[in-house]
Amino acid sequence: MRIFNIKFLAIFLGSVFFLISKMSAQENIMVSSLDAKQRSLIAIAAQTANGDLEGLKENLTLGLTSGLTINEIKEAIVHFYAYCGFPRSIRALQTFMSVLDERKAKGLNDPLGLEASPVSTNANKYERGKIVLEKLTGIKETGQKEGYAAFSPIIEVFLKEHLFADIFERDVLTFKDRELLTVSVIASIGEAEPMLSSHLNICMNVGLTPAQLEEFVRVIKPIVGKKKSKAAQKVLNVVLDSKKKE
């Protein structure tokens, strides 16, 4: 009888520990996972980059129902053009206009949301963009320009003045939101692994977790397909491995 009781107690305690560890793991996943609005932004970015307007309509609707405001979605679509061009972004804006018209016809009035705050500094755009980039990367820019910036200095100026000052500086979306949009578009375009690697590193620097970035790949997979999602996962694996070694 004592042996039976001991075995029963061991099984019972083992089950309790298993349930506790499982609940703890699930709690960690919930804490680390992307929220509904972030998943919608990722999907909207991937659909815009792919030019899949029918799929985009569905994800724009999901974005609105997940809590994104009209201005947040507009801001996201404007952000895309720096990575996938005006044609894709303008078609996405036109698609969004049709979605809003259809929803209004059904009596659905979506919240407009906040406008971007005015710039409150007299610093020139190059210096402002430089400051934003340093915040994103966590690295101070010193020394001579190298690589493409040295080969074509004007594109480095455009990046600082326009991409990081005019676009990234706008506060309608957070740095986390903008980086999720950026990696989603880059992964959807494909064949841009060095830039994807750089922005995945920035994602982690602005506070996104490895679990959230793993989820980002899962969100884009049904949109961009196995080949591009596999390529994105490969780049992410390298980034995460390098972070572990730091």
Which pLDDT score, from 0 to 100, does residue 142 have? 85
pLDDT at 122: 83
Mean pLDDT for the stretch of residues 200-229: 97
SS (H, E, C) the chain: CHHHHHHHHHHHHHHHHHHHHHHHHHHHHHHHCCCHHHHHHHHHHHHHHHCCHHHHHHHHHHHHHCCCCHHHHHHHHHHHHHHHCHHHHHHHHHHHHHHHHHHHHCCCCCCCCCCCCCCCCCCCHHHHHHHHHHHHHCCCCCCCCCHHHHHCHHHHHHHHHHHHHHHCCCCCCCHHHHHHHHHHHHHHHCCCHHHHHHHHHHHHHCCCCHHHHHHHHHHHHHHHCHHHHHHHHHHHHHHHHHHHHC
pLDDT, residue 143, reads: 81
Q: What is the pTM of this model?
A: 0.86
Average pLDDT, the chain: 89
Q: Which CATH architecture has domain 35-116+170-245?
A: Up-down Bundle (1.20)
- Looking at the predicted structure, is the pLDDT value of residue 240 above 60? yes
pLDDT recorded at residue 3: 52
Domain coordinates of the chain in residue numbers? 35-116+170-245
